[in-house]
Structure 1
Amino acid sequence: MKFKLPVPFLLFGFVILLIIGVISNGGFTQTYTSETSANYSEVIDTNAVLDETVFPKDKVVDVKITIDDNDFQDLIENASEEEFKTASVEYNGIKLDNIGIRAKGNLSLQSVSRTDSERYSFKLSFDEYMDNQTLAGLTKINLNNMYSDASYLREFLTYELAEAMGLPTPKYSYVNIYVNDELWGFYLAVEQIGDAYLERNFDNTTGELYKAEMNGAGSDLTWLGEDVSSYSSLVEKSKSSDSDSLINMLNELNNGSDYAKVLDVEEALGYVALNVLTANMDSYLGQNKHNYYLYEDDGVFSILPWDYNMAFGGFGGSNILIDEPTQGALSERPLIAKLLQVEEYKATYHEMLSEAIEGYLSDAQFQTRVQELTQLIDPYVKADPSAFSTYEEYEQGVTQLLSFNTSNVQSIDQQLEGTIPSSGDGSGSGDTRGGAMGRGQRGNNVPGNEPTAAEGQPVANAQNPDAPAQVEQSPNGQTDPNQAIGQQQPNDQQNEAPPFAKGGQGGPPNGMGGMGGPNGDMNSTIGQGSVTELITTGISLVVLLLTGLFITFFKRKR
């Protein structure tokens, strides 16, 4: 009996020490290690956390960046170097120190650098200087300047359509950026394709990840042989890869017929459909054959949607042929040509198009959604100090976006019904004449919204009068005699983007948008700790209560 009395007190003391240990080891801080986040994986819904704390679609969150004035000035003046600078950020109330920030983009970065604007897109890298630092599990977020999109809606709407179609889509939302307490601009935040995205969509991060870029060869996915170096425009983004799976996929796609063995066929068809539905020629469909990722999961590749600021006709491509939707020969895009040769796959693809134009893109639904979004963003657009366009041009851009969608949906519907052709002679149908950037004006016309051929209305194709009408586009403001509209430089790299159609929608001259960068990291940490704090506190209180009951019971037994 002499040993019974100390036992409950020893147990009580142990519990107190345990609680102290949890607190002292960061149990109540915002940052959790990957082991801790794994322990609570069953109670924390990653999607819900991201949608609520980082990417809420029903409100605009503040992103407050604090950076040394000289560092920020150097970042702006030397944006093309894409050099990271040290900064701190308060992202929707969540504070992180020692992050990296740099300018980002492809031709959009070059284009902005050739103007008086300082409105660059930015990449925030939360683990650039501190290993395992994340924001709700994300290591990187892109802040896109919505270059060449006076409506501020193209990319948001396209990603939302992709979600509605069931495609693996990065998170996205509108943000108001402040730099050193001064409002910088109204941007679109987009999750970086990386570990967090892969874990959420594929339940793993171990596969091969490639990003299709303009420079080099191979992003058209044609067969160039077994040497992976021949596919230089498919840039590896995963930590390690033997590239065998990539070569096997390309070989089967071009030289075999068992496509489902190496491709997620439904996702591939969905990717093509998404770009046709939004007339997005700044993609695999277009001359540059870029702006997508490939991810391999157990030998099967998925094609991942990326970069949609030029959707809804921003890069030409009005009234394209749904079964021949390429800028250039269809045979040069085997992902489309080979899959659509299979009647079953073609029927699935047509069903995807039909569901979208009868659903999300139908006039009733699309106009309602656009109205909801414009009500949300109107005050932020008005107050945007670095906007590429005026507020009046924004309003006009929204109107013409709606008009373009109506016209594009009608064309797709007629092709599905068979009242107009859906394919041609194999030479492709996407408008190669551009229409992407405003060189002389900052106007807001999406191609295809003016009353006559000279003003942008569809006109008959002289070579094929039965084909869908194409929009005549004016080389308004073109100053470089060597730069024909849509003319490509070697390796399909555009020196400057094609000039705008008359009053073309978008911003300053010379270029187009793009984004990229290193992978994110899902497994590192979860930076949002409020839910976990409550769980830890609750567990501690329950243990403490049980200990008290045990002591009371023990005393009664004595």
Structure 2
Amino acid sequence: METFKYILLIFLLSGASSCRDSELEDDVSSDYDSSDINFGDINIETPDWTESTHGKDASLDYEVVFPDNEVLRIDITIDEENWALMQNDLDENLGSSGGPGGGGADIDFTPVWVPGQIEFDDREWYKVGIRYKGNSTLQNAYRSGTDKYPFKLDFDEFEEVYPAIENQRFYGFKQLNLGSNYDDNSFMREKVAADIFRSFGVPAAHTAFCAVYLDRGNGSEYIGLYTLVEEVDDTLPETQFADGDGNLYKPDGTGASFAFGTYNDTDMDLKTNEDESDYSDVEGLYNVLHSEVRTSNTEQWKSDLEGILNIDQYLKYLAANNVIQNWDTYGNMTHNYFLYNEGGKLIWIPWDNNESMQEGKMGGALSLSMSEVTSSWPIIRYTMDVEEYESQYKAYLSEFVNGAFEPTKIQALYSAYESLITSYASQESSSFSSGVSSLKSHVEQRYEAVINYLE
């Protein structure tokens, strides 16, 4: 038994790399003592297991996991000892003497994983890896004392500890996210924004409304209406691209701005093909952006740029993002986007849209003209300095507000979702109705703003 404990400890502290799919980044924390985790009996039984619901080779069931016309229910059970470990981990890293605390600095640690049970549709998923996620969302949840934390789920995180759950999946999905709808009285922004992006031809994660109940040793309690969000590096490349084997990056940090002198591989966070560690595509984008031919030979620069960045898709994303007013991303913040290499060209994938569809913070969302954007954000500034690209961007603005974001259509969607989630959302916020009303007004205002800008 002592030998097993030693092997287990070494395994966990080394990051559990042997139990991960090669295409997924291992983010097991090394900031905690794994011997504190309560694993219980490792010889578990899995009576609810079926290949279609739990097996690795199961087809991805988007209709079950990400429906648009129902609120899912997920029950999470974490034993009292492991719940206390999760809270102690936050105290050590976010408390007044152990981390950002009230200062709002970026989180620089990976929260502890613990095993727990997930119940859904009268089935159990066993010893699922559960941890907190997020940055400002997590910090604000911690400071407010709420139990409504954002969670990440990994269904075979602890497969080396519990052999019975080897390659456990949730209807084909290995990882999922539970977004807490932080600072969103409408509880819709995360879901609607991602769905609108996809309907406009911009790759984005699938989402669903989800009522979450938590038992941490004192019985099951409703903790809130969440948004279940697809993990981009788990399933999106294989389902939304013809070639699912390309490099996938989640840029974050100074280098994610692509400003002159900022590029470094460490800010690119390669999520796939880690063994090759080939960053030549994102470095190539940086080099093209700052090439001297940008000002001396515009046609050559355009050709070089279009050889490394899917510029048409980027302009489509940019138009949609500016219309819905998504401030917490590139142009204001150096995070919340992915880049995927399909056929040698990088494609933009938006991420974390819970603060979209409003004027926003940190100076607010970008204007439609983006005239205030400087060379500190060269992907925007340098593309908008090209008349051809600016014209295409404007064409996409018009297409977006007359199609995917047409006011009467979106207002009808808001009304349908209001009816769907009101019994859950009203338990958490007395401002739910006004939050939905503000979204309905917002889409009208944005339509008028685009028409006035284009005129």
Which of 342, 347, 352 is 2:391 aligned to? 347
Deviation at 1:71, TM superposition (A): 1.3
SS in 2 for 1:366: helix
After superposition, the Cα gap between the structure-2 partners of 1:320 and 1:412, relative to the gap in structure 1 and judged at 3 Å, is: farther
Give the letter for the 2:125 counterpart: L
Cα distance in 1 for partners of 2:364, 2:260 equals 29
- Give 1:68 deviation, angstroms: 0.8
The separation in 2 between residues aligned to 1:263 and 1:176, in whole angstroms, is 39
Match of 1:247 in 2: 283
Q: Tell me the residue number matched to 2:71.
A: 60
Q: 1:314 to 1:129 in 2, by over 3 A?
A: farther
Match in the other structure for 1:466: none
Q: Does 1:201 pair with 2:235?
A: no
What are the superposed Cα offsets for residues 347-377 of structure 1, whole Å, 9 maximum, x if unpaired?
Answer: 2221221122123333311211110110000
Render the CA deviation track for 1:388-434: whole Å, top value 9, x for unaligned. xx32x1111211222233222211210111xxxxxxxxxxxxxxxxx
Asked if structure 2 preserves the Cα contact closer than 8 Å seen for 1:292 and 1:304, the reply is: yes
Per the TM alignment, residue 157 of structure 1 is displaced from its structure 2 partner at its CA by 1.5
Aligned to 1:221: 258
Tell me if 1:374 matches 2:418: yes
What is the count of residue pairs matched by the alignment? 366
Following TM superposition, where does structure 1 have runs of at least 4 consecutive aligned residues deviating by more than 4 angstroms?
A: 26-29, 317-320
Deviation (angstroms), 1:93: 4.2
Give the counterpart of 1:268 among 314, 318, 335: 314
Q: Which has the larger radius of gyration?
A: 1
Structure 1 224/205 Cα, relative in aligned 2: closer, same or farther at 3 Å? farther
Aligned equivalents of 1:29, 1:161: Cα separation in 2: 30
Q: Which residue of 2 aligns with 1:309?
A: 354
Structure 1 residues 274-313: aligned runs within 5 Å: 274-286=320-332, 288-313=333-358
Q: CA deviation at 1:28?
A: 6.1
**What residue ranges of structure 2 are gaps of 5+ in the alignment?**
1-48, 94-109, 160-165, 292-300
Aligned mates of 1:370, 1:28 — CA distance in 2:
37
Instruction: State the 1:82 CA deviation.
Output: 0.9
The equivalent residue for 1:72 is 83
Matched, 1:212 2:251: yes
Could you say what secondary structure the match of 1:323 adopts? Answer: coil
What is the aligned counterpart of 2:174 among 130, 135, 139? 139
Please state how far the C-alpha of 1:33 moved relative to its aligned partner: 4.2
SS at match of 1:331: coil
* 2:186 corresponds to 1:175: no
- Which residue identity does 1:58 align to in structure 2? N
Q: Does 1:234 align with 2:279?
A: no
Paired with 2:308 and 2:121, the residues of 1 have a C-alpha distance of 41
Determine the C-alpha separation between the residues in 2 that align with 1:302 and 1:188: 25
Distance of 2:425 and 2:393 partners within structure 1: 37
Paired amino acid for 1:211: K
The structural deviation recorded for 1:111 is: 1.7
1:148 aligned residue (183, 187, 193): 183
Q: Does 1:413 align with 2:424?
A: no
Which residue matches 1:22?
none
| TM-superposed deviation, 1:306 | 0.3
Q: Extract unaligned runs of 5+ from structure 1.
A: 1-25, 38-43, 418-558
Matched, 1:107 2:128: no
Please give the residue correspondences for 1:28-107 in structure 2 after superposition, counting only pairs within 5 Å.
30-34=53-57, 46=60, 49-50=61-62, 52-79=63-90, 82-107=111-136
Q: Which moved more, 1:73-82 or 1:259-268?
A: 73-82
Alignment correspondent of 2:155 = 126
Offset, 1:107: 1.4
SS at match of 1:354: helix
Equivalent-residue separation in structure 1 for 2:114 and 2:55 (angstroms):
25
1:125 partner amino acid: D
Deviations 1:96-155 (A, max 9, x none): 112100111111111221122221100011121124221122111110111111111111
What SS class does the counterpart of residue 332 from structure 1 fall into?
coil
Correspondence list, 1:475-490, <5 A = none
More displaced 10-residue stretch of structure 1: 268-277 or 252-261: 252-261
**Cα separation, 1, equivalents of 2:116 and 2:310:** 40
Task: State the one-letter code of the partner of 2:157.
Answer: E
SS at match of 2:167: coil
- Partners of 1:400 and 1:340 lie apart in 2 by 31
1:299 positional shift: 2.4
2:367 pairs with one of 315, 321, 326: 321
Q: Distance in 2 between matches of 1:150 and 1:203?
A: 37
1:319/1:411 contact within 8 Å kept: no
Q: Distance in 2 between matches of 1:28 and 1:199?
A: 20
Q: Measure how far apart 1:162 and its partner are.
A: 0.3
Percent of residue pairs bearing the same amino acid type = 27
Structure 1 residue matching 2:389: 3-state secondary structure? helix
* SS of 1:293 mapped into structure 2: strand
Q: Please show how residues 521-540 of structure 1 align to structure 2 within 5 Å.
A: none
Give the Cα separation in 1 of the matches to 2:177 and 2:318.
Answer: 24
CA RMSD for the aligned pairs?
2.3
8 Å CA contact 1:195–1:205 kept in 2: the answer is no
Supply the distance in 2 between the matched residues of 1:28 and 1:234 (Cα, whole angstroms). 36
Amino acid paired to 2:83: F
Aligned counterparts of 1:28 and 1:331: Cα–Cα separation in 2? 52
Q: Which SS does the other structure have where 1:269 is aligned?
A: helix
Give how far 1:325 is off: 6.2
Deviation at 1:57, TM superposition (A): 1.0
What does the per-residue CA deviation read over 1:31-73, in whole Å, with 9 as the maximum and x for residues that have no partner?
A: 4444xx5xxxxxx6x4xx21x2111110001111122122123
Distance in 2 (alpha carbons) for counterparts of 1:219 and 1:319: 18
The alpha-carbon deviation at position 254 of structure 1 amounts to 2.9
Distance in 1, matches of 2:143 and 2:54, equals 41
Look up the match of 2:10: none
Q: Aligned partners of 2:409 and 2:52: how far apart in 1?
A: 43
Cα distance in 2 for residues equivalent to 1:116 and 1:269: 41
For 1:186, the equivalent position in structure 2 comes to 225
1:331 matched to 2:375? The reply is yes
SS in 2 for 1:309: coil
Cα drift, residue 341 of structure 1: 3.1
Distance 1:27 1:54 in 2: 16
Preserved CA contact (<8 Å) 1:186 1:381: yes
Give the CA deviation at 1:251: 1.2
SS at structure 1 position matched to 2:213: strand
**Paired residue type of 1:342:** V
- Separation in 2, partners of 1:101, 1:166: 32
